[in-house]
Amino acid sequence: MSLGIFDSGVGGLTVFREIARLLPNQDLIYLGDTARLPYGSKSPETILRYTLECAEFLLSKKIKLLVVACHTASSLALEYLQKELPIPVFGMLRPGVELIRESALQKVALLGTEATLSSKAYQKILSQECPQIEIFKVACPLFVPLVEEGMHLHPLSIQTAEYYLAPLREKSIQAALLACTHYPLLTDAIQQSIGPSVCLLDPSERCAQNVKLALQNEHLLEPASKSPQYQFYTTDYPDRFARLAKQFFGMPLSLDINKLELNKNLNYS
Ligand code: DGL
């Protein structure tokens, strides 16, 4: 059985890559809801609805575990999915909080979408688990479109990072959590603007480790002899998705990507 992974776009591939690395025998199905991104500027109700539709599609593929590779969807819909779905559901908040907690830092920036930050989902857990930490929230709404346009190395990305992050330089922060799965693709621009001494925390590897552990505990790991199959779906522009997947992750340009329309009577085949 496969694992299902989804995000609004290519950002979740940063998590896909780590899962594929740590679970090299596992079949994976990835869905990028490219027709409806960005999620980060949508209302909580809309994000919940989109997330449920993505989950519903992946469930129709008989997955054994779901990874919500999107901090925005995790912030707004993870609790609901974990309660309602008949399979284990993993999100991005827990791995992010674990990295912060283990780092024993005092001043941490939380970089995410507007919806993630205004949901206060991170702030709620952090105030319970790491009450000593001072959090500096910065919403960076232009980062997602820059990545989706393949402009992560363009000077505009550096200018945008400078615009959002330069004010942090006088706050003496020690680390910044990349609380959006698109942001690791802008690591260079972010590091340059936030300052070389600030440690950038990317929770995607920890997410993959947590998934591996859960599969191990449930005896659901695939045998080492199995070669994995990967399937990709997008809700719009499969060609652009393939181009970005090649540019960011070296995946073959001829990547076979299926285009689907979500919620068309929820009758997926
Ligand atoms: N990659 C997503 C996240 O982790 C959201 C990007 C968006 O669609 O705004 O939050």
Domain architecture of the chain: domains with CATH: 3-91+205-259 (3.40.50.1860), 93-203 (3.40.50.1860)
What per-residue confidence (pLDDT) applies to 250?
Answer: 82
Q: Which residue among 54, 147, 180, 207 has the greatest number of ligand 1 atoms within 8 angstroms of its CB, and so is best to mutate?
A: 180
Q: Is the CB of 8 under 6 A from ligand 1?
A: yes
Does the CB atom of residue 72 touch ligand 1 within 6 A?
A: yes
State the pLDDT at residue 116: 98
Split the chain (269 residues) into runs of 10 and give each run's mean pLDDT: 97 96 96 96 97 96 97 98 97 97 90 98 94 95 95 94 96 96 97 96 98 96 93 93 88 76 59
The reported pLDDT for the residue numbered 219 is: 93
Asked if residues 53 and 262 have their Cβ atoms less than 8 Å apart, the reply is: yes
Residue 256's pLDDT is what? 76
Indicate if 130 belongs to the active site.
no
Does residue 40 line the site of ligand 1, with CB under 6 A? Answer: yes
In 3D, which of 30, 26, 25 has the Cα closest to residue 8?
Answer: 30
Residue 26 phi, psi dihedral angles, 5° rounding:
-95, 130
Distance between CA 90 and CA 211 in Å, rounded? 7
